Amino acid sequence: MAGVARDYGDPPASGVSQRRTLLLAVLLLVAAALVGLLIGYLLSRTGSANDGTAARRTPSSDPSGSATSATATPPRPTGPSGSEIEKGLTKDIGYFLGARRGANGLTHVAFDRVQLLRGDAAEKYASENGGDTATARSGLIVNENPRTRDLVLAPDVKILGGVQLAASSDPEQVPVQTLLDALDSKGSTIPLELRFDKLGYVIQVTEKRYA
């Protein structure tokens, strides 16, 4: 009887070889993915470092330092101010009636000086001029001279506002522009106390309430 041929498949050695080939391919794919992730990470780190360096170098990239000088307060001049005040005067009271920019780049203000009377002097003045003597003793502003004086504000002048400039019952520092903006509408109603330096520059302006 003739023998019947039987197919028992590939030899065992052939199956092992296929599994090894498949495993090797999987390992290669995993390795390629890891390499891609590593390269992406290194590129992102390099980009961040470059961005940080650029950001740090930006302020000093301008040799003239214009970015810093634009916000810095100019130094106080060392020459005479030219303010129309008596020599040696350190304090004054009155109103700012207007402001302008001078040829030297500094702010000039038109100052209306007043007198402050208290006690008996204030009561007497009120009585002679038809004022309220009951309230005069606490403080009475007298402004009989129409003359105005040209004063120069220091670049670093300090402005302390009160009720009208800072909506505060206590002195509160405000920008110079806050005071200048208020002059056109209510400059003649804001009593101010001024302080001068030795050169006559106005170094501090304080809104006061005398009555």
Residue whose entry in the numeric block shows the structure tokens 């304080």: 206
Percent of the chain with pLDDT over 70: 75
Cα gap 102→119, rounded to integer Å: 40
In one-letter notation, the amino acid at residue 62 is D
Start-to-end C-alpha separation, the chain: 139
Q: What is the mean pLDDT of the chain?
A: 80
**Cβ of 77: how many Cβ atoms within 10 Å?**
16
pTM (two decimals): 0.63
Whether the CB-CB separation of 84 and 151 falls below 8 Å is answered with yes
Percent of the chain with pLDDT over 90: 46
SS percent in the chain: helix, strand, coil, step 5: 40, 25, 35
pLDDT in tens, 190-211: 999 999 999 999 999 999 986 6
pLDDT in tens, 9-56: 555 555 666 677 777 777 777 777 777 777 777 766 665 555 444 434
Domain ranges of the chain: 12-72, 91-117+143-207
DSSP letter for 73, please.
P
Torsion of CA 118, 204, 108, 179, to 10 degrees: -80
Which among 140, 195, 141, 189 has a CA at the least distance from the CA of 165? 189
Alpha helix positions (H), 129-204: 133-136, 163-166, 176-186
Which of 67-71, 143-147, 156-160 comes out lowest in average pLDDT? 67-71
Torsion of CA 196, 199, 202, 206, to 10 degrees: -10
pLDDT grade, residue 163 (50/70/90)?
A: very high
